[in-house]
Structure 1
Amino acid sequence: MKSFPLLVSLSIWASSAYATDDFSAIDKYVNAAKKEIGLPSGTAIAVVKEGKIVYEGYFGYANIKENKKVTAETAFYIASITKPMFALSTLLLEHNGDIKDSTSMAEMFPKQDFLKFDADKVQLKHLMSCSSGIENDALLNTLAFTGNHNLKQRHRLLSASVKNQRNPLGQFQYTNLGFNIASIWVDDFYSQSWQKILSETIYQPLGMNHTSSYMSDAAKKSIEVARPYGLTGKDPTAILPFEKSDITMHAAGGTIATASDLGLFLIAQLNQGIVNGKQVFPAEVIKKSHQQLVSHNGSFLDFKRTGYAWGWQIGPYKGSRMLHHFGGVAGTHTHSSFIPEHNIGLVVLNNENNISQYLTNAISDIVYSILLDDGDANKKAEKHILAMRTIASEEQANIKKWNDIKAKKASSRVMQLSLDKQKYVGVFHHPLWGKLNIKLLKSGAFEVRLGEVSTIATAYTKLDTMRVEFSEMNEGGKVLTYKLKNGEVKGLTLFGENFNKV
């Protein structure tokens, strides 16, 4: 792999109160870890203490092949860190009297038919705490990935929600669904998009000038957005094929932001809504947003999770109560956390997801060790550098092994089609999933496109079938089965759904 200089550009603000905080261990670790990884993807860090951003660090590249380094003005797609911001926005709307935490889905959507669950029992607080007891894969994937929707279609998708038989109402199951549903209510109630409401209630009041829930704002406002990378492809320095657009930005994961902008959001959390001496948000609203709504038992690397608040995971970390939320999809891993007891917090943004979760986990240990005076940060950095050497080697070996297995399976199979190849192309429609397009390429391969996502179909083991994998959707490989009648293709099944040929 090509070698890149891993330069760090950082700024540190320190008053006399912070003179003892030495953050050099962060720089030491991140630069060394990225050399071990061998991919100079970008990382942006902001550390918050007592109402100020006391450290910012910028490493690697926003665009590797164009040699564009990450800077203080580089925005990252932050994925699920959108959740606590959107949840706070709904509480501000409650504070204004527009909705209540106990407002039911039946009240939110009085003209909507919900036939497969009791909409009178599912309340806003359930939606904002991943405990609604309902599920809807078509809505989730359409808003986040395929983009096959408009307001009318979103309501059609909403009506398809069903009772979750495995996780009933009041039981936690992590999902985007509740936030997506609440965003449809926002679109209806205010006759404008949830993105605009989020900007008016959160981004603008905080002065988050490099933050938006419209990807198109990047070009309009000259915001450089870090491009997505991953270790799984043949060329890890190549930008991943799927990048977010306005239509695939959603209220559970639809924001671009800089590390320092998110630092402002954390300052508001830690200081009862006060930022730079101004009461930006009502203190009682911030307090309510931190209240646990549901308990659960989980963990992610070093972070134990015992409950969920309004878009915040809750759990112990280094002996204190921490609120945090992470985000991760192909080409992105993000971290936002804070410890109210000590008035400290951390933001870490990455434009790579395979190895960055381990990188960020170590950064967190080093940062909070410095802030809490918990051990020798330089020794911890050295320990984590050695660990990253092993992690990177194992991760790359596992990726190679998995790719080899997939390639071997693909090469051992021959696509079994009973008709001429051209018969299998065309447009197929499902009332919820929208249009699926299948095209025969000059190479003889089939391209399968569902809105904003596409893939090249591979052979499966049965007649008139194909294997398709929209990797962005994390659905794994799915079997596409054609439905034939009298020598003609009439439709197909995918995701357990029937698509009719148009």
Structure 2
Amino acid sequence: GAPVDADTRFYIASSTKSFTALAVAAMAARGEVDLEAPLAAWSTAPGSPADLFASVSLADLLSHRSGLDNAPMSFRAAMSGEHTPEVMQRLVAATVARDDTPHGTFRYSNAGYNLATTLLEARDGRDWRVLVRDEVLRPIGMTDTTGWVSEARAGSVVAAGHLGHGQDGPVRSPLQKVDSTMQSAGGLVSTADDMARWLEVQINDGVLDGRRIFPAGLVASTHRPLATNNATFGPYVRESYGLGWQIGRYGDDVLIHHFGNFAGSRAHVSFLPERRLGVVVMINEDAVAGGLADLVANYVYDWHAGRADLEAAYDTALAGLVANRDRARASIAGQQADRATRPWMLARPLPAYVGTYESQVMGTVRVAERDGALVVSVGVMEAAAEPFTRPESIRVELAPLQGQVILFAAEGATADSLVFLGETFERR
């Protein structure tokens, strides 16, 4: 209900990656870390897989070409918030090689950033938020940008993520970011004023208001292609990925960009280096209106380019966006109605499934009974259970509009274990 102004803080989700990458690049420029050195040459985290780390570098991790994955680390960092620095360092041992995307092949994920900053923290003792604050935010003067939600809320209004798929309009998302789920692949809140400073630094290779903030060439180095990424995202062609930036084209112009979304928040951050023009759009609804961020940015670029049919083209585009919103609302409502007719597939009374279940790598799942229904919580996430189609199964939306299935196993009167996200959790 609060009016938005240039100082309203929005969560920018994966647009955080370019900040994290620049912070690490700044360390490398001073010789404090080698972006190209194998992780095995300097990692001090316990249980680091020497075979996997023998050829993979920080540059590989930050450009999504490492061929590695670590689902438990990414889940705890971004979703459940169930972690400490010691837990994250222990989870380094859970790193695996991806058979479908070997080393050198681009595959976008949070894992590379989570792994990179966990290894740096194990070596230097510096939390990723402190790293980004000291290396990037303070030099630029982005005083309203932070990786701590508690700090952001103490200083001003933070736009809460919303879901707009219901017929009655947007409602606050049940999953909101907290300090423990702000992570190096998606963990900053910022303002329009601060993000304008960020774009100026990007376009001017480290110069802000006529003053050099970063050494010449440092910011530009993060825009250089490191991994091939032949993909199309709406009107944008993505050709490669650098250090925290997608590199491609919007029409005939080179477009350097990074977007982000999470549970009701959406961010568009982009600039045309040759035209020295950039746009940031931040929206606190993503279920049906996330595309509006891109539409606004495209309008700005096309207006500056003098597009002749600008208003007619964007009237049509906006009408299409509204139609897509209505189709999405109808589709989601239909899916919800279908699920409401499902019979329960649980063979035992509800109390038989109530309890605490643990996995060494994924953390803790708690199942409770409230008002005749099962409620599942994992760290900061919580959702009521729905029926699913398999025996001894339930469905939950711990992340809004993303269904997850839980399968119970039982030999006697109560469930002994459950499977969630491919991992087995044993009853405690």
TM over 0.5: yes
Q: Give the CA deviation at 1:136.
A: 1.9
- CA offsets 1:344-390 (integer angstroms, 9 cap, x no match): 1111111111343332222222211233x3323xx423432333223
Q: Name the structure 1 match of 2:307.
A: 375
Matched position secondary structure for 1:361: helix
Matched position secondary structure for 1:251: coil
1:431 corresponds to which of 360, 368, 389: 360
**2:210 maps to 1:277:** yes
The one-letter amino acid paired with 2:380 is E
Q: How does 1:21-420 map to 2 (within 5 A)?
A: 67-115=1-49, 118-220=52-154, 222-233=155-166, 235-371=168-304, 373-376=305-308, 379-418=309-348, 420=349
Structure 1: gaps of 5 or more residues: 1-66
Q: Name the structure 2 match of 1:492.
A: 418
Do 1:306 and 1:314's aligned partners in 2 also have CA atoms closer than 8 Å? yes
Do 1:491 and 1:501's aligned partners in 2 also have CA atoms closer than 8 Å? yes
Distance in 1 of aligned mates of 2:163 and 2:90: 35
Distance in 1 of aligned mates of 2:103 and 2:35: 15
Matched position secondary structure for 1:241: coil
2:398 corresponds to which of 470, 477, 491: 470
Q: Name the structure 2 match of 1:35.
A: none
Q: Which moved more, 1:361-370 or 1:165-174?
A: 361-370
Structure 2: gaps of 5 or more residues: none
Distance 1:310 1:462, change over 3 A: closer
Matched position secondary structure for 1:126: helix
Distance in 2 of aligned mates of 1:274 and 1:118: 39
Distance in 2 of aligned mates of 1:79 and 1:164: 24
The one-letter amino acid paired with 1:487 is A
The one-letter amino acid paired with 2:179 is D
Distance in 1 of aligned mates of 2:200 and 2:327: 41
Distance in 2 of aligned mates of 1:354 and 1:409: 19
Do 1:315 and 1:322's aligned partners in 2 also have CA atoms closer than 8 Å? yes
Distance in 1 of aligned mates of 2:48 and 2:329: 43
Distance 1:337 1:440, change over 3 A: same
The one-letter amino acid paired with 1:389 is A
Do 1:490 and 1:500's aligned partners in 2 also have CA atoms closer than 8 Å? yes
Distance in 2 of aligned mates of 1:233 and 1:454: 20
Q: Which moved more, 1:260-269 or 1:403-412?
A: 403-412
- Give the superposed CA RMSD: 1.8
Distance in 2 of aligned mates of 1:116 and 1:186: 16
Do 2:44 and 2:123's aligned partners in 1 also have CA atoms closer than 8 Å? no
User: TM-score, normalising length from structure 2?
Assistant: 0.95
Matched position secondary structure for 1:89: helix
Do 1:215 and 1:246's aligned partners in 2 also have CA atoms closer than 8 Å? yes
Q: Name the structure 2 match of 1:54.
A: none
Distance in 2 of aligned mates of 1:414 and 1:78: 39
Moved over 6 A (4+): none
Do 1:116 and 1:161's aligned partners in 2 also have CA atoms closer than 8 Å? no
User: TM-score, normalising length from structure 1?
Assistant: 0.81
What percentage of residue pairs aligned between the two structures are identical? 28
Q: Name the structure 1 match of 2:388.
A: 460
Do 1:81 and 1:253's aligned partners in 2 also have CA atoms closer than 8 Å? yes
- Structure whose CA Rg is larger: 1
Matched position secondary structure for 1:130: coil
Distance in 1 of aligned mates of 2:174 and 2:303: 38
Q: Name the structure 2 match of 1:422.
A: 351
